[in-house]
Each structure stands twice: as structure tokens, then as C-alpha cells.
Amino acid sequence: MLKGKSIILGITGGIAAYKGAALCSKLTQAGAKVNVIMTESATKFITPLTLQTLSRNPVYVDTFDERDPSVVSHIDLADHADLIVVAPATANVLAKLAGGHADDMLSTTLLAATCPILIAPAMNVHMYEHPAVVRNIELLASRGAMFVEPGTGQLACGYVAKGRLAEPEEIVAAVEAWFAVSGRLRGRRVLVTAGGTMERLDPVRYITNDSSGKMGFAIAEAARLMGAEVTVVAGRTTAAPPSGVALVKVESAQQMLEAVTELYDEMDIVVKAAAVADYRAASISGTKLKKDGERLTLALERTTDILETLGKRKKHQFLVGFAAETEQIERYAMDKLRRKHCDLIVANDVSADGAGFNGDTNIVSVYGEEGLIEAMPLLSKRETASRLLELVAERLPQFGGSGV
């Protein structure tokens, strides 16, 4: 899986730096070309000579230690890397990367990189849970960085808690998993809808569905990481959209319908994760509605069912719908899949803990024409999205020709 791959291994200044030697060795033995970049602090824990011996390549520490006059080292390394792994990643390097700082060889190379980045944090539990660190991790993840979460165990400070670097075997497995799926959707065009629609009542009021957009954005990010060309049509969201995707902002169900149908014919995969309002005001007041009496009666009319419209127009597209339910999940999911001509339905009980709106986790079951395909446990929305796109990639050869 890793044979011939060019990987930069960034090692930063924590006690877990000693695990960097085992990680470097395992990546090299798996056939990868490993270039190690160490921070100055990392050299206090483990020597560059150790990593040079294991990688069989020079180790970089000083930005100004240019060895080849024909290239600028940090640019050349970044340009030729298939993946950058930072392990261990201290709180300091997370802050540098999040803030765009470039004051040493590693941070400068990271800033110049266009390849994916896999980060394995390691630090004291209180540092890992500090709001600043949490925010930096969330920011980096929103930009497409991938993470191998730290484990729970004995920390160097004496605590037994979460914060220890994942074992080298776990990190290598994450690297292999990335390369296994990274190209599975290459050449495919993917359309994702996200967020809730807003149906205006007057210039200051509207009705909407509860949605942060996190699930749709996670799916878009996963598709991009798998090599797809991704377009997101987003309504009202509270989450930040991922980088590297084309974003079309809309407000109402009608605007979303128009945007999606305009793009539909050129798409290979469409994932309808948006929470679209089923009803809108029969008439929108041009001025603010004034309070008049104890009750206000609104006349509503049905919006066009976007998923059903796409199902009827489907030619080569692989169509995935979502079903947010509170009861009889399988019955409603299978009914929706068949009525709306979907290839997959992702259903969840939004009343279950960890599976509702606005959170970072989800619990979903994926259904196909044959019934339940996979019932996923409580996972992060990013992990849920990755698993869903893997299911889609596996089924693509049945839909739209040659497959991936």
C-alpha cells in the first residue's frame, strides 16, 4: 500500500518523540520514502542521527541548512510529498499550523504543503482539553487535516488519562487507510446539499428546519479527500464549510431546487443531506407582520420535493438520501428509498443521544434496495461520512459504468 509513496514525518518536541523512531521504521519497512523533519525541541528527546539511520534519508531541522543549491528544501519537500504525518503533534505545533505561522523548518514546510496532512496529537490531558487546543483542532479539521486521536493511558506527567500518542501501528494503519481510499472517487463529480432552508414569512421572520450543516459538510470533505470534484449547495448553516470544494449558497427550498437541478446532469454522485422545509408561506408579506390579537394563522403550501425530483430525473447518477426520523426507522427509510428512487438512504433516530442536530457525532443506518447494509455505532460525523462514501464507492461499478 505504501510502496513508492513519499511521506514527510514531522516530529515535534514532546516525550512521545521517541515513538517517532518506531513510526519512521515501520513506514520505511512498508516501502514508503520517508523524509523526517524535526523541530529543535524534538532533538532534545531523540537525535536526528537515529531518524536518519532509520529513514535512510537526511533529517531536516534548520530552515537555513540548505544542502542543495538547486532547490529550496521546504518547498521541494512539500511539492513532492504524498502525505505529511505529524507525530507527535504538540499543542504548540497545532497552534502554529492553525495560525499559519512559519518560524522553523516543519511549520514552514506545512504552510507550503498542498498534500493531505495527518496529525497525531500528544500532550497532557488538560492541555488537550483546553479550549484553545480544541479550537485549533477543529479549525485544522475544517481545512481538511486528518487526525489520529490520542489514546488513554499513563502520561509522562503522571496522569492516567487521554493524551498519549497513538501507537505507531495505529498511525501506520491510518496512513494505509488513507492511501486505500484516497483515489477511490478520483474523476467523479459529487454534489452534496447541506444545512436547512429558510422560508420567509416577511422581511424579518422565517420558518426553517433544524440543521447545522455539519453532516453535509463532513460528506463533502470526505468526498474531496477521496479525490472527487465536489460542489456543495448549502442553505442556512452554523458550521464552516470545508476547503477545496465549490460552494453555492442558497436560502429557500426553491433556490436549492433550482441550484441542484441546474448541476444535476453533470454529477456522478448526489448526496442530499440538507434539511429542506416541506412547507413555505403561501404569500410572503413585503412588510413586517404586526402583532394583531393572541393568535396568528399562517397559510402554508408544499415545497417541491427535491429528492423525489432528482429520483425521477435520474439517469447515471448514484443518489443518496437522508431520513431523519423519530420512530419506525427502517420502515420509513425503505419507503423513502423506493418512493424517491434512491440508491441508498441514510437514516437516523434524531431523538437518540449523540444522533441529533448540531452535534459532532451521529448514529446512522444505511439502507439499500436489499434492506439494511450497515448499522453504524456512535461515530464522529467525519467518520460517519468516510464510511458512507466508502459504501458508495464500493457500489459505484453497478451504477454509471466503469466504476473506480
Determine the 3-state secondary structure of 91 from DSSP: helix
Q: Confirm or deny that 147 is annotated as ligand binding.
A: no
Q: Confirm or deny that 214 is annotated as ligand binding.
A: no
Distance, in Å, from the CA atom of 170 to the CA atom of 120, rounded to the nearest integer, reads 10
Report the interhelical angle of 91-99 vs 105-112 (nearest 10°). 40
Sign of CA pseudo-dihedral 351, 357, 361, 364: positive
Q: Confirm or deny that 288 is annotated as ligand binding.
A: yes
Is 342 tagged catalytic? no
Beta bridge partners of 355: none
> Torsion-angle region of residue 358: left (phi > 0), alpha (psi -120 to 50) or beta?
left
Distance, in Å, from the CA atom of 328 to the CA atom of 308, rounded to the nearest integer, reads 21
**Can you state the percent helix, strand and coil of the chain, rounding each to 5?**
35, 25, 40
* Grid cell of 255 as nine digits: 433556490
Choose the catalytic residue: 24, 115, 157, 342.
Answer: 157
Provide CB contacts within 8 A for 74, sequence distance 6+.
60, 63, 105, 108, 109, 112
Distance, in Å, from the CA atom of 125 to the CA atom of 137, rounded to the nearest integer, reads 14
Active site residues: 157
Question: Which residues are annotated binding-site positions?
Answer: 278, 288, 322, 336, 340
* Residues placed in the known binding site for CTP: 278, 288, 322, 336, 340
